[in-house]
Structure formats: structure tokens, C-alpha cells
Amino acid sequence: MAGQAQIDIRELHWLLDIVQCLDVGVLVMDRNFHIEVWNSFMENHSGLGADQVQGRELFQVFPEIDRPWLERKVGTVLRLGTRAFSLWQQRPYLLHFKSYRPITGQADFMYQNLTILPLAATGGQVEHVCLVIYDMTDAAVAQLRQG
């Protein structure tokens, strides 16, 4: 296959291992909000395994999500092919995860930053997005204490 980049299966395996070990939530969904990738951060904080959510619509799994807001954000990413962001100061969380700081915990839930990434297929069309969820609880609690 001259001229085409070949995917080394070992490299793909390494990338999947890395995604599973990240201390951020990684979830990939199609344009209809059906979940395709769900990393271990998401499993640990939601209590739901990948086998329980894959193929399901995000809003079925998390009905508390502000659907119109997320549909607008994701729609912009799909249309423009550019990233979108949401900071905990604008919207404290996307997914209502508990804060797991048992001793120093000053928050009832996990404050989150969100990045929405467009994922282009080999033909260039964006058919999927990746949501990256960052736990910002420590920084949020510190900033809120300062006033």
C-alpha cells in the first residue's frame, strides 16, 4: 500500500491502553449521541461499565444532562470541525459525578471542564466527537473559598 499510512496494530493497542489510563474522562459518540468509547475514568466515576453504555444514547444514560445546550455545542463542533469548550465556572458539570475526596472533600459533586473534539473519518467528514472531561474539583473549591 504505497502512499498510504498503515496502522501498526501494536501502536493502536498502546493508544487504547493510554486512553484507558488517563485521569480524565474520554467518551466518543456519533452524531446521534450514541456512545462508542467509554474509558476507565468514566467507568469509575459513573459506576457503569463500557458494556453497559456502548451503543446507547448519552441522554438515556444521563437524563439529567441539559440536552438542548449539549446538542448546540456538539452541533457546532460537527458543523465547523473545530473544538468547543466549557469551563466549570460557566457550567459546574456535564455529568453529575460525586466528588471522591473523602478526607479533604469540600464539594458534593465533581466540578468539570469539558472539551469537545471533532473526530474526522478518513474521508475528512466529521461523524464523531470526543468528550474529554477534566476533574476540576480541587481548583474550583480553592477558587470558591477565595471568593
5 within domain boundaries? no
Instruction: Tell me what pLDDT residue 74 has.
Output: 98
Instruction: Name the residue range of residue 85's domain.
Output: 24-146
Percent of the chain at pLDDT > 90 equals: 67
Residues 61 and 48 sit within 8 Å (Cβ to Cβ): yes
Measured between alpha carbons, how far is 112 from 101 in angstroms, rounded to an integer?
A: 15
Per-residue pLDDT tens digits for 86-136: 999 999 999 999 887 655 557 889 999 999 999 998 888 999 999 999 999
Cα gap 126→80, rounded to integer Å: 9
Q: How many domains does the chain have?
A: 1
Task: State the Rg of the chain over Cα.
Answer: 17
Residue 3 lies in a domain: no
Residue 10, in any domain of the structure: no
Q: Does any domain span residue 12?
A: no
User: For residue 127, what is the domain's CATH number?
Assistant: 3.30.450.20
Among 57, 69, 112, 124, CA closest to 88:
112
Judge whether 6 lies within some domain: no
